Amino acid sequence: MDLVPKPDQLVAAAGNAVHLLLHGGLADLRPMPRALVDEGTLREVHHYRPDPVAAKRGDPVLLVPPLAAPAGCFDLRRGCSLVEHLVGNGRPTYLVEYGDVSFPDPNLGLEHWAQEIVPAAVRAVSEHAGGRPVHVVGWSLGGIFAMLAAADVRDLPVASLSVLGSPVDTTSVPMVAPLRPLLTTADWPAAVGRTYRALGGAPPLVRWAFQLGSFQRLVTKPIAVAVHLDDADWLAQVEAVDRFAASMTAYPGRSFGQLYHRFAVGNALATGTVELGDRPVSLAAITAPTLVFAGATDGIAPVESVRAALPLLTGAREARFEIVPGGHLGMLAGRAARETTWRALDEWFEQWDGRRRPTRRGATKKATPQKSAPKAPAKAPTKASSKKTPAKKAAPRKASAEPTAAPEGAIGTHPRRRHSSSGSRALRR
């Protein structure tokens, strides 16, 4: 709203104020309709009801949320929901939820999600979608789960990975870096370990971190609401984000211990290898094409902490890095994400639709010369007329039209990107 409001702004502000007072909010918080298609221990896989108007297209998408945050991050509100966007485009869309998880579950470690829940969900989605490969999309810790699952279980039917706001190098996280001298002190890790084991877990630290990162916004919220009182979409977004933050829960005990000791103190993920269960898991084992997103103003997972994943993805068919507007949640469900993150995801899915991951790296290279060896047919023209020879030469054109790699493009640019991509990186291998 302008410093001197225009008549139409005053009318809109008055209408929004009345709606807030009478109805308590402006956001349409109805979840997208869905059906349960698979379940297990702390695992529920839901299929979102297809849009009857949109034509079904492309391979299915599985959305993987983090721990301690509701799965509503992908379906924040109508008009600003990644789920609604995907379903509206005709994309088969699925979500894995973890059920009622809280820190009184002391025996649940990260391996339960990375080695059991996410792989089982990927297989269930592929089976439900008719055996098609799956585009796996993970936000925050959900992105780390997705990477570890793809690295540990080699035969997963993964078409591509998309990782949003997943910090790999914790030394770049502002809320962790100042505490590292204390965390690495001899007595502190033991004291913290005894505390969370005694409690059975950790309180809702993610909610506190999320609120701390938005402290300035919270303090100035009354002023901001007054300034944007004529903007119904802005008011609806604030309402939806507040509900989301209030729904965050606690980490289960063993998972928090692993995050604290291995990620915060040991920074193990930045080395590329993490001990999960009884074996090490290396990000270099990921072969699926991987798209990594960082939020330009993300205070929980800053750009450099997320960018650290790129040098570790040495085995990926393609590894790409994109910087998009928004903070930790805004990059996924902010109003700007509708024209930035979501469009980049659409293009990424279309690029890798229908391409099944080879069981062995280099398998496609071996297959190519076997198909293109025309030794036997070469003798036919000697017995028949030589007029058949030009027809034989036209065959190689079909083989060359077969896509074997991602289309070439300038590093850090995209011809259809609606936002500035000067900070983006496209690293093709």
Domain 31-176+265-352 CATH superfamily = Alpha/Beta hydrolase fold, catalytic domain (3.40.50.1820)
Domain boundaries, given as residue ranges, for the chain? 31-176+265-352
CA atoms of 216 and 222, how far apart (whole Å): 11
Show the low-confidence residues of the chain (pLDDT under 70): 1-5, 11, 13, 16, 18-20, 22-24, 101-107, 174-228, 249-257, 260-261, 356-429
- Burial grade of 264 (CB within 10 A; 0-12, 13-18, 19 or more): buried
**Average pLDDT over the chain, rounded to an integer:** 75
Q: What pLDDT is recorded for position 276?
A: 83
The stretches of 129-270 forming alpha helices (DSSP H) are: 141-152, 180-183, 187-199, 205-213, 215-219, 221-227, 232-246, 253-258
Q: What pLDDT is recorded for position 233?
A: 80
| Per-residue model confidence as pLDDT tens digits over 366-418 | 333 444 444 444 444 444 444 444 444 444 444 333 434 444 443 344 444 44
CA atoms of 36 and 47, how far apart (whole Å): 6
Q: What are phi and psi of 30, to 5 degrees?
A: -65, 130
| Per-residue model confidence as pLDDT tens digits over 186-210 | 444 444 444 444 444 444 445 445 5
